[in-house]
Amino acid sequence: MTQNPLEKLYRHKTFYTSLPSQGRFYPSGVKLSADGELGIMPMSAADEIKLKTPDTLFNGEALYDLFRSTIPDIAQPEEIPVCDVDKLLLGIRVASQGKQLDVKGSCPKCEERKTYAVDLTLIMNTAATIDSNPVIKIDETLEVELRPFTLQSQIKGQIESFFQQRMQNMLSSDNNMSDEEKIKQFNQALVGAIAMQTTQIAECIVRVIMRGEPEDTIVTNPDHIFSWVENMDSATYEKIRAGIEKLSDPKIDDQVKVKCPSCEHEYRMTVNLDPVNFFSPRQQT
Amino acid sequence: MNAQELNDYIEKLNVDAEDLEGYLFEVSIYSEGAIAYSELREMPLKRIKVFEERLMDYMKKKSGKKGQEYL
């Protein structure tokens, strides 16, 4: 069956939000409105079904498809810098089901369990703009231009840690495996984890600038950068990793202040921003 | 999350997805062809709910009930 060209008329953008990245770090492009905001459409029923499909959730396809469907102005969802991800997910939730989220919490004083209405736009507004300089200075002769982690690298990292965890559980519970074989398997897993981390860091290095006479040398070749990361000293590695993490974290405050209606005690509770629970029309527990 | 919790969670996701698909089929069937399942899949749930309310309203009126009778 051919796709209905009128499908695009079923939905329209109902919510606009600014981005912590301000639209930077999207190599394939992002189309912002005249006032620098990104338009978001509500989720379709098909999106809701995909978010409940375990396999597509695990490999990240559900999230990529969700962004493709609801935010068509992002050319490549895999490239979304992680500093924008949570704010965009909140925006999709607001566009789809409104700004109110019912969250259950137990009062630490009287232990009464109540449901509180949380305004998600207030949580969105806590996201800080990533305005730090993406170029860090390693020493007098070396500068590195960075970018935040991408959604794709974050998902790959999560999948890798899942398999690492599974491997560890298997090694600790398998009594039939010899100690030698366990050590071998463990070392293989360790090598895999290190390679993954190296790739993640290398992918966030846009270019390396070596100051020199008569002219500077600029390296952008991904293979050369990967080899450099593999062989760099730990102080440089830590400096670069800290720089990437700074660019990746918009410091969204997912804690809200509520007042217990029974004893009037004020306390803070955390709103779970996990995409699956978060988009469920039911209350969070 | 241990293995049992993970299994329960996956089972819950599958049940929720089936419930949602079943709901879309029902709306399509009760609308007697006014709206197709493929069209419903592309619509936001909020709009489907509005359609469902209007459809119920229409069916009640069509069955002869009016005013306070069906409230």
Token pair in block for residue A263:
């004893």
Q: Please, which residues have CB within 8 angstroms of residue A52's CB and are 6 or more apart in sequence? A: A276, B13, B14, B16, B17, B20
Same domain, A118 and A73: yes
Cβ proximity of A149 and A82 under 8 Å:
yes
Lowest mean per-residue pLDDT among A91-100, A196-205, B1-10, B54-63: B1-10
Same domain, A137 and A245: yes
Same domain, A37 and A81: yes
Q: Do A44 and B24 touch (CB under 8 A)?
A: no
Number of domains in chain A: 3
In a domain, A269, yes or no: yes
Same domain, A56 and A124: yes
Phi and psi at A208, nearest 5°, equal: -115, 130
Same domain, A176 and A255: no
Q: In this predicted structure, what is the pLDDT of residue B63?
A: 86
Same domain, A120 and A78: yes
CA-closest candidate to residue B24, choices B52, B50, B3, B2 = B52
Best of A9, A47, A48 to substitute, by most chain B Cβ atoms within 10 angstroms, is A48
Closest in A7, A48, A276 to B45, CB measured: A48
Tell me the DSSP string of A242-277. Answer: HHHHHHH------EEEEE-TTT--EEEEE----HHH
- Digits of tens for pLDDT over chain A (285 positions)? 566 666 666 788 999 999 999 999 999 999 999 999 999 999 999 999 988 888 888 788 888 999 999 999 999 999 999 999 999 999 999 999 899 988 888 999 998 898 999 999 999 999 999 876 799 999 999 999 999 999 999 888 888 887 777 777 777 777 777 888 878 878 887 888 888 889 999 999 999 999 988 899 999 999 999 999 999 999 999 999 999 999 999 889 989 899 999 999 999 998 887 766 666 654 444
Q: Do A4 and B20 touch (CB under 8 A)?
A: no
Q: In this predicted structure, what is the pLDDT of residue B68?
A: 56
Token pair in block for residue B2:
């241990």
Same domain, A120 and A76: yes
Same domain, A268 and A209: no
CA angle, corner A241, sides to A237 and A245, nearest 5?
A: 175
pLDDT bin (cut points 50, 70, 90) of residue B4 is confident
Using CA atoms, how far apart are residues A256 and A102, in angstroms rounded to an integer? 12
Q: Do A52 and B17 touch (CB under 8 A)?
A: yes
Which residues of A are less than 8 Å from B21 in CB distance? 49
Residue A232 belongs to what domain range? 132-148+204-249
- The 10s digit of each residue's pLDDT in B16-45 is 999 999 999 999 999 998 999 999 999 999
Q: Do B44 and A42 touch (CB under 8 A)?
A: yes
Q: In this predicted structure, what is the pLDDT of residue A285?
A: 43
Which residues of B are less than 8 Å from A56 in CB distance? none
- Residue identified by tokens 């969250």 is A103
Token pair in block for residue A184:
């071998």
Q: Are strands A135-139 and A142-146 parallel, antiparallel or unpaired?
A: antiparallel
Looking at every residue in chain B, the average pLDDT score rounds to: 86
Q: In this predicted structure, what is the pLDDT of residue A1?
A: 55
Using CA atoms, how far apart are residues A69 and A73, in angstroms rounded to an integer? 10
pLDDT bin (cut points 50, 70, 90) of residue B67 is low
In a domain, A14, yes or no: yes
Same domain, A238 and A265: no
Closest in A42, A45, A96 to B24, CB measured: A45
- Residue identified by tokens 């918009």 is A250
Cβ proximity of A152 and A63 under 8 Å:
no
Using CA atoms, how far apart are residues A85 and A4, in angstroms rounded to an integer? 30
This complex has an ipTM of: 0.84
Best of A8, A15, A44, A65 to substitute, by most chain B Cβ atoms within 10 angstroms, is A44
Cα distances from B52 to residues A98, A237, B65, in angstroms, run 19, 57, 18
Same domain, A213 and A168: no
Same domain, A97 and A18: yes
Tell me the DSSP string of A51-118. Answer: TT-HHHHHTSHHHHHHHHHH-TTBS-GGG-BHHHHHHHHHHHHHHHH-SEEEEEEE-TTT--EEEEEE
**How many beta carbons lie within 10 A of that of residue A151, not counting itself?**
22
Same domain, A32 and A84: yes
Does the CB of A119 have a partner CB in chain B at under 8 Å? no
Does the CB of A40 have a partner CB in chain B at under 8 Å? no
Q: Which of residues 179-208 of A touch B (CB under 8 A)?
A: none
Q: Give the DSSP letter of residue B66.
A: -
Distance from B70 to chain A by nearest Cα, in Å? Answer: 27
